[in-house]
Amino acid sequence: MTIISIDDPEDPRIAAYRDIRERDLTGREGLFIAEGEVVLRTLVSATSRCRPRSILLAAKRVEGLRDMLAAAPEGTPVYSASQAVLDTVAGFPLHRGILALGEKPDPLAASDLLAGLGEDAVVVAASGIGNHDNIGGIFRNAAAFGAGGVLLDDLSGDPFYRKSIRVSVGAVLRTPIAAPLPLHDMVDVLEAQGFEVIALTPSASEPLSALRPGGRRALLLGSEGPGLPDDIIRRCRAVGIRMSGGFDSLNVAATSAVALHQLTAE
């Protein structure tokens, strides 16, 4: 594998990596930035649904990552730069020294994603999740507990935002994701595909602890604060996690972990 040395932060070959914090906010037209060794290893692995377009490393990291670089698709450009050049390109001190430019997978229609799952499949559906840490946490939990996919509504953030990918430890890159839908349409599709939609809400009288694994289930999560709309909750099976100490709910990512464990434990 040929490593291409970069000495000039303005080199056009690495233009996609320039000022990544600011450009995260504007979208990348079907591309994304991956950061860190764990995420990059996922990106180049056989489990990834995405493809690397190029890789940019601090020169000091190259030798230790040659095994991973060998797993990248043939012809993937690998650029190397000094730490100073890399920091200038990124626009902030990039201590990990590892970036990659990736291509998002083709969008999956929710009906197609769900139709291909088994009779005891569990999926995560979420509405209005704008915090990138929470999105990343939800994907990490979905992968950890074997969820068949994640559905986000059209009010949720982009899971391919750099921070979401990093918090998910690469799970965003390997998890089937449905194209965004309005919340009501998302519930319609889930019901049409034979999924029992379980709405997590503090107002529920039925405890999550009463549920047992089995059957097609969709865990529906709402944004912290407002939660899910009342009309959606009425359409679904409403369940809650019992709290103490005056609290009424958990962080939404933590809620996903507790609920997924309940529905997937042997």
Each residue of 181-194: pLDDT tens digit? Answer: 999 999 999 999 99
Instruction: Provide the 3-class DSSP secondary structure of residue 60.
Output: helix
Average pLDDT for 176-205: 96
Q: Is 88 exposed, middle or buried (0-12, 13-18, 19+ CB in 10 A)?
A: middle
- Please give the Cα distance from 258 to 266 (Å, whole number): 14
Tokens of 71: 């797993």
Residue % of the chain over a pLDDT of 90:
84
Each residue of 93-135: pLDDT tens digit? Answer: 888 899 999 999 998 999 999 999 999 999 999 999 999 999 9
Q: Per residue in 227-246, is it b (16+ CB within 10 Å) or e — as a string?
A: bbeeebbebbebbbbeeeee
Q: Check residue 247 and give its pLDDT.
A: 78
> Model confidence at 226, in pLDDT bands (50, 70, 90)?
confident
State the distance between the two ends of the chain, measured CA to CA, in whole angstroms: 45
> Model confidence at 249, in pLDDT bands (50, 70, 90)?
confident
Q: Which domains does the chain have, with CATH numbers?
A: 3-103 (3.30.1330.30), 110-264 (3.40.1280.10)
> Model confidence at 29, in pLDDT bands (50, 70, 90)?
confident
The count of residues in the chain is 266
Each residue of 35-80: pLDDT tens digit? Answer: 999 999 999 999 999 999 999 999 999 999 999 999 999 999 999 9
> Model confidence at 164, in pLDDT bands (50, 70, 90)?
very high
Cβ 114 vs Cβ 217: under 8 Å: no
- Please give the Cα distance from 159 to 172 (Å, whole number): 7
Block residue for tokens 């103490």: 244
Distances (CA, A) of 11 to 16, 51, 262, 265: 10, 23, 51, 51
Average pLDDT for 144-167: 96
- Predicted TM-score (pTM) of the model is 0.93
> Model confidence at 28, in pLDDT bands (50, 70, 90)?
low
